[in-house]
Amino acid sequence: MADQIKIMILSGVREQGKDMFAVQVNDEIFVLDAGLKYPDSSLFGIDVVIPDLDFFAQYGDRVAGIFLTHGHADSIGALPYILRKYDIPVFGSQLTVELAKIEVKRENKKIKNSLFHVIDANTEIDFRNASISFFHTTHSIPDSLGIVVHTPAGEIVYTGDFKFDPSAAPNYRTDMDRLAEIETKNVLALLSDSSNAEAWFPSASEQSIGSYVTDVFRNAKGRIIVAAKASNLNRVQEVLNAAHATGRRVLLTGRDVAKIVRTAMKLGYLQVPDGLLMRVKDLKTTPDDKTVILETGRMGEPLNSLQKMATKRHSMIKIHKGDLVFIATTPSHSVETMVAETSDMVYRAGGTVIQLGRDKHTSGHATGRDLQLLIDTLKPKFLFPVIGEYRLMEIHKDLAEKTGMDKDNIFISKNGDCYNYDFKKKRFYLSDPVPGEDIMIDGSGVGDVGNIVLRDREILSDDGIFIAVVTIDRKKKKIIAQPQVTSRGFVYIKANHKLMNDSIEIIKKAIANNFEHKKFDWSELKQDIRNDLEKFLYKQTNRRPVVLPVVMEVNQNRHRAMQKKSAKTDDNKESAPKKSHSTTNHKNRRKSRHPVDVNKTGKKVVEKSKENKE
């Protein structure tokens, strides 16, 4: 059998987050990352978005393993939903695996620990058709790794999220010697991070950012409240270092801090001097100028907490005059508005705000120059820009062309694309697609919210809902009760009596017209009511609420059955022989649940309780 190589773009292109790619060598598939993304404002009520799980339903028996580059949600967030159904081995560095277990156990506390395998940059795993090895990369979380799939046609390299920073700490530093070694083994294809491709000037080194954070702390006169992502351990370490250098103590708060930050501390990835951390009760006895409150969480969670602090709704902390709020991560485009709103609230509460991203150009992703340096170092034959929106992938392509790469060897892909390698022509070509749709998670539901539901939610958010309830007798072709109408989020009912009354007349006309001109059909009747109401309401208000007609029917069969039963009972009473008064009373006394007495008028008196009897 001839060798077969495929590169599958399962998710993570033309978007930010939700990274998942796969390389197939003969009958084995190696999945690279399994992440999620957080929804934007257009996905009403959606908690997170994950890659299409149909891929595992179709190809799960061929998947040899899931290989993780780092412990951020865009790399590990989909694992809980994958491992819920499929027992697939997971490989990652020690910290990555521990964070992955935390994610998975949120959904399934009985997950098998035997599925998780700890590897490092020196590990090489041999499978039947290929082998997998790793190399150190620089990112905002320690022990990030790139992945190399060794195939019969050459190396396929996946960077994950990365950047170059020669001044980074050892746990964060890219292994340039290892990259040079990989280049000597013939790099067939490079799947490279595009998230920061449009940035040309170099990012500030983490060393300089650490000094900047310390200066901010030194100049602050009151309390410092820091907002940071819990998974950005590099920034968390810089905050701890700055607090120690300026003689302050740190209170850790936030949803993820107990699990993510404390796990990193336990494994030695966060260095915390003795006595630096304090508890909530210590806030009362610690002076403001000796206090740092580190609020961590996911995505916008720290900002939500800051808003509660500023509006006096937080359970523990209230922002007051003299507080400095330090937003220690560069916000994504999706939360920039939220950052502005939060800053406004902080100033209203008497505090001030400093944003790291405004004073320093910082990112955990490679700039344009970094991407060109990687291409020069690895010299790949083919390039697949991944992890980034479409414009960033196009910029990445242009950067690669400037290094001398043939534009025909650079593929701007979309989710679901599958590229086969032709060994004779020595080229990749687009073949049959693989599952690449979005799966939306809302509460405990996985994939049960689709475009139709989202469209209805959007309409509800814009124009509200209008409900019409009517009861009919379809046999007699008439309305039994006056139609009832109500609305939510559409108009104020008390101020729009005429509109509501006119709507009732529209409903009556629609039903009468349906009875007169059409053969009765439930769906047609509801559609007629809906259509007529939508036209009327739009004409009156220029709004299009969701119109929900509820049509009920009198149960004629039950009514007739009750009439027949009643008539039959009357006939039986007339034909039955009359019983003596004493016999009837005797039976009544036996069947009675309560003691019965007969007063002078002959009426039965039932005692309600023993207390009344006494």
Which ranges constitute the DSSP H helices of 276-335? 301-310
The answer to whether the CB of 435 falls within 8 A of the CB of 49 is no
The answer to whether the CB of 524 falls within 8 A of the CB of 518 is yes
Residue 544 is predicted with a pLDDT of 86
**Distances 456 to 26, 196, 370, 467, 547 between C-alpha atoms, Å:** 45, 35, 44, 14, 11
Give one word for 449, left, alpha or beta, with left for phi > 0 and alpha for psi -120 to 50.
beta
Residue 21 is predicted with a pLDDT of 98
Average pLDDT over residues 241-267: 86
* Alpha-carbon torsion, ordered 281, 282, 285, 290, to 10 deg: -140
**Distances 317 to 6, 247, 393, 483 between C-alpha atoms, Å:** 53, 21, 43, 52
Which residues are paired to 472 by β-bridges? 479, 553
The answer to whether the CB of 214 falls within 8 A of the CB of 314 is no
pLDDT digits (tens, 9 = 90+) for 416-442: 999 999 999 999 999 999 999 988 877
The answer to whether the CB of 79 falls within 8 A of the CB of 54 is no
Phi then psi dihedrals of residue 471, to 5 deg: -115, 130
Q: Give the range among 105-119, 524-538, 566-580 with minimum mean pLDDT.
A: 566-580
Instruction: Compute the 3-state secondary structure of the chain and give helix, strand, coil in percent, each to the nearest 5.
Output: 40, 25, 35
Please tell me the distance from the alpha carbon of residue 230 to that of residue 215, in angstroms, as a whole number. 22
Q: Is the pLDDT of residue 596 over 70?
A: no
Mark the binding-site residues for substrate, compressed into ranges: 361-365
Q: Is the pLDDT of residue 152 over 50?
A: yes
Rounded to 5°, angle at Cα 219 from 216 and 225 = 55
Average pLDDT over residues 559-565: 54
Q: Residues 575-602, buried b or exposed e (16+ Cβ, 10 A)?
A: eeeeeeeeeeeeeeeeeeeeeeeeeeee
Residue 43 is predicted with a pLDDT of 61
Q: Is the pLDDT of residue 559 over 60?
A: no
Q: Is the pLDDT of residue 212 over 50?
A: yes
Which residues are paired to 293 by β-bridges? 225, 251
Please tell me the distance from the alpha carbon of residue 216 to that of residue 224, in angstroms, as a whole number. 9
End-to-end Cα spacing for the chain: 98
Residue 381 is predicted with a pLDDT of 97
Residue 488 is predicted with a pLDDT of 86
Q: Give the range among 109-113, 117-121, 464-468, 555-559 with minimum mean pLDDT.
A: 555-559
Residue 594 is predicted with a pLDDT of 41
Rounded mean pLDDT of the chain?
A: 85
Please tell me the distance from the alpha carbon of residue 365 to that of residue 170, in angstroms, as a whole number. 18
Of 19, 284, 5, 41, which Cα lies nearest the Cα of 149?
5
Average pLDDT over residues 348-355: 95
Which range, 49-63, 256-270, 351-365, is most confident?
Answer: 49-63
**Distances 502 to 320, 480, 494, 536 between C-alpha atoms, Å:** 54, 19, 14, 9
Sheet containing 418-422: order of strands: 116-118, 90-92, 63-67, 28-32, 20-25, 5-11, 418-422, 427-430
* Alpha-carbon torsion, ordered 536, 537, 543, 545, to 10 deg: -120
List the domains of the chain with CATH numbers. Answer: 5-200+363-446 (3.60.15.10), 206-358 (3.40.50.10710), 464-553 (3.10.20.580)
pLDDT digits (tens, 9 = 90+) for 454-487: 666 666 777 888 999 999 887 888 888 889 998 8
Please tell me the distance from the alpha carbon of residue 533 to that of residue 520, in angstroms, as a whole number. 20
Residue 605 is predicted with a pLDDT of 40
Q: Is the pLDDT of residue 93 over 90?
A: yes
Predicted confidence band at 450 (pLDDT cuts at 50, 70, 90)? low
Q: Is the pLDDT of residue 574 over 60?
A: no
Mark the binding-site residues, compressed into ranges: 361-365
Average pLDDT over residues 95-122: 89
Q: Is the pLDDT of residue 259 over 60?
A: yes
Residue 591 is predicted with a pLDDT of 41
Give the amino acid at 55.
F
Q: Residue 10 has which token pair?
A: 């399962």
Residue 79 is predicted with a pLDDT of 95
Q: Is the pLDDT of residue 513 over 90?
A: no
The answer to whether the CB of 325 falls within 8 A of the CB of 348 is no
Q: Is the pLDDT of residue 88 over 60?
A: yes
